[in-house]
Amino acid sequence: MLMRIIFILLIPFLFVACSSTQKKYHEKHYQTQLCDKLGGEMEVVLNDRTRVDCLTNEYAIEVDFAKKWAESIGQSLYYAHMTGRRPAVGLIVDDGKDERYLKRLDVIARKYGIEIFVIKKM
């Protein structure tokens, strides 16, 4: 009986020890960080029911993880067109690992005037 109680008490510690030490955040966490920093408004609904992740006086910003760099280009350009603001992407990057996506985005961003806000993944 005592062994059973000890085992039951140890189960939560086993799960904690086996879990990753790095906390994973959703896109919305990073979106909130950037939008708060820039003083923008989050999730602005446009006439066609699409949502701008962050709208500031200057930018219409699409926030995405680095792997979705190509998708973010189209969305930022569309949101800029619909709002009359400049296009921007908030790219969530993991140091070193996502450098290739940032480089790809940068090539197109320079050509089409898209501002890039780099958000370090936690």
Each domain of the chain, given as residue ranges in start order, spans 25-120
From residue 64, how far is each of 8, 29, 30, 71, 80 by CA, in Å?
A: 41, 11, 9, 8, 16
What is the value of pTM for the model shown? 0.78
pLDDT of 52: 97
pLDDT of 10: 45
pLDDT of 19: 45
pLDDT of 23: 59
pLDDT of 97: 87
pLDDT of 11: 45
Q: Residue 76 in contact with residue 70, Cβ under 8 Å?
A: no
Which tokens belong to 70?
A: 């190509």
Please give the chain's pLDDT, 122 residues, in tens.
Answer: 544 444 444 444 444 444 444 557 788 889 999 999 999 999 999 999 999 999 999 999 999 999 999 999 999 999 999 999 999 999 999 877 899 999 999 999 999 999 999 999 87
pLDDT of 15: 45
Give the DSSP H or E segment for 54. strand 51-55
